[in-house]
Amino acid sequence: MFEFVRTHNRLLQLLLLILILPSFVVFGIQGYSEFSESGNNTVAKVDGQAITQAEWDAMHQRQVERVRAQMPGVDAKMLDSPAARAETLDMLVRERVLQAAMQKQHLTVTDERLQRLFTTDPQFAQMRNADGTVNKELLSAQGMTSEMFAARLRRDLAQQQVLGGITGAVVVPAAVVNTALDALLQRRELRLARFEAKDYLAKVAPTDADIEAFYKQREADFRAPEQAQIEYVLLDMDSIKRGITAPEEDLRKYYAENASRYTAAEERRARHILITADKDAAADLRQKAKARAEALLAEVRKSPASFAEVAKKNSQDPGSAEKGGDLDFFGRGAMVKPFEEAVFAMKPGEISNVIETDFGYHVIQLEAVRGGDKKAFDAVRAQIEEEVRQQLAVKRWAEAAEQFTNTVYEQSDSLQPVIDKLKLEKRTATVQRSAPADAKGPLASAKLLEAVFGNDPLKNKRNTDAVEVGANQLAAARVLQHQPARTLPLAEVKDVVRQRLVISQSEALARKDGEARLAQLKADAASGALGDALTVSRAKPESLPRQVLEAVLAADTAKLPAVVGVALPGQGYVVARVDKVLPREARPEDAQALRGQYGQAWARAESEAYYQALKTRFKTEKRTDPVAAAAAASANKP
């Protein structure tokens, strides 16, 4: 066969050409182009530019990693839900819309503004070195170079300008604010009549016939959900570590190789006298400043005990002069390089020569040294053993994961082989197709539950495939017993049915009396007794149920008193008579804060409206419903 192919290679090429050319004639080049675009799985378009499924997946993964870094205990299924993925797609679309607007409006950020923001904005404090430069090691840990970071920051600032002109230009008239706040915080004085369902319980005595009729009307409420009794196993780092023993010599070697990690960082406390001289100042001015520092150096060397007093009188450092030049304890990297090198070369009590930096000329006295002590091996042995075992587990993970996956598939009639091979723990549980809100670990994984209720595990009682249920976590399960959804017989749930019927009948009696009282008050608002006067508002609901509060605030107050009635499911009925409409409480400090909040809300609304207009302008389209697409994407993930 292969000899024939080699011999007739040119003939086969001609045959392929004959087969391909007609398809170009029938479908055209455009058809191939569309097929190529379809292959990219375009999920949205902005200004003619496609957003692919791969880009969406990549951004969502970055979002998940960011959230996990900030909240390690977050529920994994919440992060990978269709709603979460749809939100990521919306974020990606928004980024592309703002980027298109930025380019069309020729918005940019100068190097000066970029540098000023980086050196002054508190959010970048952890990313700055002591001399104001970017911390390249920290960037490297995030997979970025300083050039990449600057480009991203420049892009983000330019995109902020797109909406910044809208949010920064919003002016909310005082009259509009007052009208809105009146509607929000206006108060009502009212009186209530409550008809509690619990007060009618003694009046209710349902018969067996009543119970049976109630049950038949609501059989769907008394169904047991589909469930399965399963056994399952979990492979994770902890299970791998359990089988790892680290030899003593390996622990001591690790200790020696990582000695710096077990040494407390050395810190030094110093005082200094600064005579300022800008690095760009004229040479004669800098020389004059240096001479002044030399004179002060001579003075403190004659009387070292007077250093603090001399610093307080002469130092031009506003941050430390009042404290006698005291800089407190600091470690390496906190001061500019020449200052740091001098301090860390001194002995306690020693006074330096004049040190020149970009700030001017310093005279330094070292006060004290702390840290720098290496912890004994025995003191950190447990920590080292945990770290070594963790590293070994990470190295073994890929091999163990492959063994786990292959074993549960190849020996699918039992989980025992994989348990024996990898020394895992067999666990059991009863599960449903959807995990309860308080589910944790593998049992919270929608993917595992979907696998459990697949055809093969249910019908043939075979193992599920290995399922990823978390970072470095694989699980597999086997169904022991399956119970389809069913309607529970009345005999089994009679007590529950009776209890619900009693509540329903009590509620009906309470509502009946409440509606009668409502009708009486509507005919004569002054008839009958009501509770004590109560003043409520949205800001101070006074424990009023939400439904009642909304009904009271929505009541027509053109003619007072106004009467409303509200049914509270499961609780009873409330009748409210609104007697007065009171203005909002006048507290200037609250009013100022509320005006600010209202202005911010208005600015957000204006900004969102402008963004929606930009989406229309740049012909933004989503090829499918994002939640449905996200659900499909989640289902198709391996």
Distance from C-alpha of 162 to C-alpha of 607, rounded to nearest angstrom: 10
Cβ(404)–Cβ(311) under 8 Å? no
Q: Residue 352, CB half-sphere, CA atoms under 13 Å: how many?
A: 25
Distance from C-alpha of 359 to C-alpha of 315, rounded to nearest angstrom: 12
The DSSP output letter for 204 is -
Examine residue 456 and state whether it is found in any structural domain, yes or no: yes
Cβ(564)–Cβ(578) under 8 Å? yes
Examine residue 377 and state whether it is found in any structural domain, yes or no: no
Distance from C-alpha of 158 to C-alpha of 179, rounded to nearest angstrom: 36
pLDDT for res 12? 39
Residues paired with 356 in a beta bridge: 361
Distance from C-alpha of 575 to C-alpha of 527, rounded to nearest angstrom: 13
516 and 564 housed in the same domain: yes
Greatest Cα pair distance in the chain: 109
Q: What is the crossing angle of helices 307-314 and 283-302, to 10°?
A: 150
Residue whose C-alpha is closest to residue 181's, from 608, 609, 548, 592 = 592
Q: Locate 189 and state its tokens.
A: 């004085």
Q: To 5 degrees, how large is the angle CA 431–CA 434–CA 435?
A: 65
Cβ(477)–Cβ(448) under 8 Å? yes
Strands (E), 119-254: 187-196, 223-224, 227-236
Cβ(614)–Cβ(101) under 8 Å? yes
pLDDT for res 281? 84
pTM: 0.48
Residue whose C-alpha is closest to residue 473's, from 440, 438, 505, 502 = 440
Domain CATH number, residue 169: 1.10.4030.10
Contacts of residue 164, Cβ cutoff 8 Å, sequence gap at least 6: none
344 and 409 housed in the same domain: no
Domain final residue, candidates 535, 560, 582: 582
pLDDT for res 212? 94
For the chain (638 residues), the mean pLDDT of every run of 10, in chain order, is: 40 42 41 42 90 89 81 72 87 89 84 80 75 74 77 81 76 74 83 95 94 93 93 93 86 82 85 91 90 95 94 92 93 90 94 93 94 81 86 88 95 95 94 89 92 93 94 94 93 94 95 95 90 90 92 91 94 95 75 74 85 90 63 50
Burial of 508 (0-12, 13-18, 19+ CB in 10 A): middle
Examine residue 259 and state whether it is found in any structural domain, yes or no: no
Question: How many domains are contained in the chain?
Answer: 5
Distance from C-alpha of 116 to C-alpha of 118, rounded to nearest angstrom: 6
504 and 574 housed in the same domain: yes
Rama region for 487: left / alpha / beta (φ>0; ψ in -120 to 50; rest)? beta
Domain CATH number, residue 421: 3.10.50
436 and 551 housed in the same domain: no
532 and 441 housed in the same domain: no
The DSSP output letter for 319 is T
Domain final residue, candidates 466, 484, 502: 484
Cβ(129)–Cβ(135) under 8 Å? yes
CB count within 10 Å of CB 275 equals 24
Long-range (24+ apart) CB contacts under 8 A made by 202-209 are: 203/506, 203/509, 204/502, 204/505, 204/506, 204/509, 206/498, 206/501, 206/502, 206/505
The DSSP output letter for 423 is T
Examine residue 255 and state whether it is found in any structural domain, yes or no: no
505 and 538 housed in the same domain: yes
| 3-state DSSP assignment of residue 91 | helix
14 and 51 housed in the same domain: no
Cis peptide before 626 (omega within 30 of 0): no
Cis peptide before 122 (omega within 30 of 0): no
Q: In whole angstroms, how far apart are CA 245 and each of 379, 387, 430?
A: 19, 12, 35
477 and 500 housed in the same domain: no
Examine residue 381 and state whether it is found in any structural domain, yes or no: no
Contacts of residue 543, Cβ cutoff 8 Å, sequence gap at least 6: none
Examine residue 64 and state whether it is found in any structural domain, yes or no: yes
pLDDT for res 591? 66
Residue type, 575: V
Contacts of residue 2, Cβ cutoff 8 Å, sequence gap at least 6: none
Q: Locate 146 and state its tokens.
A: 């300083």
Examine residue 472 and state whether it is found in any structural domain, yes or no: yes
| 3-state DSSP assignment of residue 192 | strand
pLDDT for res 299? 94
Contacts of residue 171, Cβ cutoff 8 Å, sequence gap at least 6: none
pLDDT for res 625? 58
Domain final residue, candidates 436, 458, 484: 484
CB count within 10 Å of CB 262 equals 16
Domain CATH number, residue 280: 3.10.50.40
Distance from C-alpha of 157 to C-alpha of 110, rounded to nearest angstrom: 10
Examine residue 476 and state whether it is found in any structural domain, yes or no: yes
Pairing between β-strand 187-196 and β-strand 467-470 as defined by DSSP bridges: unpaired
- The H or E element that residue 18 is part of is helix 9-39
Residue whose C-alpha is closest to residue 184's, from 609, 601, 579 = 601
- The H or E element that residue 487 is part of is strand 486-487
Distance from C-alpha of 25 to C-alpha of 17, rounded to nearest angstrom: 13
Distance from C-alpha of 421 to C-alpha of 403, rounded to nearest angstrom: 9
First-to-final CA distance of the chain: 37
pLDDT for res 30? 42
Q: In whole angstroms, how far apart are CA 597 and each of 172, 177, 587, 594, 600?
A: 11, 10, 15, 5, 5
Domain that holds residue 504: 187-222+490-582
**What's the length of the chain?**
638
Cβ(185)–Cβ(538) under 8 Å? yes
Cβ(85)–Cβ(621) under 8 Å? no
Q: Residue 148, CB half-sphere, CA atoms under 13 Å: how many?
A: 8
54 and 160 housed in the same domain: yes
629 and 597 housed in the same domain: yes
233 and 215 housed in the same domain: no
Residue type, 440: K
Distance from C-alpha of 414 to C-alpha of 412, rounded to nearest angstrom: 6
50 and 155 housed in the same domain: yes
